[in-house]
Amino acid sequence: MSTLATVLEQLDQAADRLGVEPQIHQHLRHPKRSLIVSVPIQTDAGELEVFTGYRVQHSMTLGPSKGGIRYHPDVDLDEVTALAMLMTWKCALMGLPYGGAKGGVRCDPSKLSFRELERLTRRYASEIYLCIGPDRDIPAPDMGTNEQVMAWVMDTYSMQRGTTVPGVVTNKPVLLGGSLGRVEATGRGVAYVTAEGMAHLGLLLSGARVVVQGFGNVGSVAARLLHEMGCRVVAVSDVGGGSYNPEGLDLEALQAHLRSGQPVRQYPEGDAITNEELLQLPCEILVPAALGGQLTAGNAGAVRARLIVEGANGPTTAEADRLLREGGVFILPDILANAGGVIVSYFEWVQDLQFFFWKEDEVNSRLRDILTAAFRRTLALASRERVDLRTAALMEAVDRVARATRLRGFYP
């Protein structure tokens, strides 16, 4: 199943359990706005290359929409739509005054020079200019983008407005109005909910084996923080493969290896493995923090983790989710597990609007409070309704958006 098909099936199941009225259910299945834009740029060689960009705003019922921008060769409208819908549920579950959005450009950023990347970003930002804004839709980084890309988006938007508008994006450089703690927020949130999940299962963090697929910003931060909590990180991977050491990897040495330009699979203190092999390693905690659709019906039966913490968006297909649960695996779903990024993005947006900024320990403390409360609410609902955590999380999120839709009504 595609990510969009999986997300729609999850919505349908939650709506059915909640008894959501058919007209509201149908409304929630469709995005409010989908924009496809042409992004022509002049390459450094003086040639014209045309890329395709997208921005999908799924919902604005609870407030302006919020969601990242990704640069990746596989970006398409279905993927962006699915991710926008997941953002709606994620924001609602966390109690944030946002709807969900997502954007992207189909490209390979690794093949673009710094100046080509800037021209691409500024042209894309100009094309979606009318759809974004601090009171409309607030982009953030995602796969293939970073705080520099957000600085370009903010500057492009600000130039067209004629005034500096820091609140138009989040995860900017701190110098331009970014929040302390934002870079690590998603990975930190993964670590926080992992601790809650292990406590619920009655398992100790000390000595627990951790496997992380995707050693990027989210996976590397989660791995480091879980190590600091006493866990033993035995395997990590990037797009080219991974490294496995059952005694535990030296994360500092691994990071130095990566900074030298070497891939994870060539780390000399571990055995080279594929991403598929990594998912089947014996461990207590598995963190899929790479692309969506990695855990499927074809490999779910081979997973040997006790707890799966979804650092990525949509890493588990619907059939795999069922098979894993039947096999006794406890899953912390993406809209709960990786919500740290959007929570601190919300903090950044609030700080930008007030022009008053918080200390990093205050940001991290508030992040933990919101995530812990959301975990416990979701766990309590799962117990009352006798459903799994993903269904409970979706039920709470969908119910919140459905109730707001009911109160607001349909215009005209």
Known catalytic residues are 102
Tokens standing for residue 387 = 């459903």
In terms of Cβ atoms closer than 10 Å to its own Cβ (0-12, 13-18, 19+), residue 290 is buried
Q: How many CB atoms lie within 10 A of CB 69?
A: 30
293 contacts: CB under 8 Å, gap ≥ 6: 3, 6, 314, 315, 317
Tokens standing for residue 101 = 């959005």
Question: Do 95 and 104 form a contact (C-beta atoms < 8 A)?
Answer: no
Q: Of 293, 394, 346, which Cα lies nearest the Cα of 65? A: 346
The SS3 of residue 72 is: strand
CA angle 282, 288, 292 (to 5 degrees): 135
Length of the chain: 412
Q: For residue 140, what is the enclosing H or E element? A: strand 137-141
Q: What is the DSSP letter of 312?
A: S
CA angle 80, 86, 89 (to 5 degrees): 150
Q: For residue 115, what is the enclosing H or E element? A: helix 114-127
- Convert 112-137 to b/e letters by CB count within 10 Å (16 or more is b): beeebbbbbbbbbbbbbeebbebeeb
144 contacts: CB under 8 Å, gap ≥ 6: 70, 71, 72, 107, 109
Tokens standing for residue 322 = 């069922």
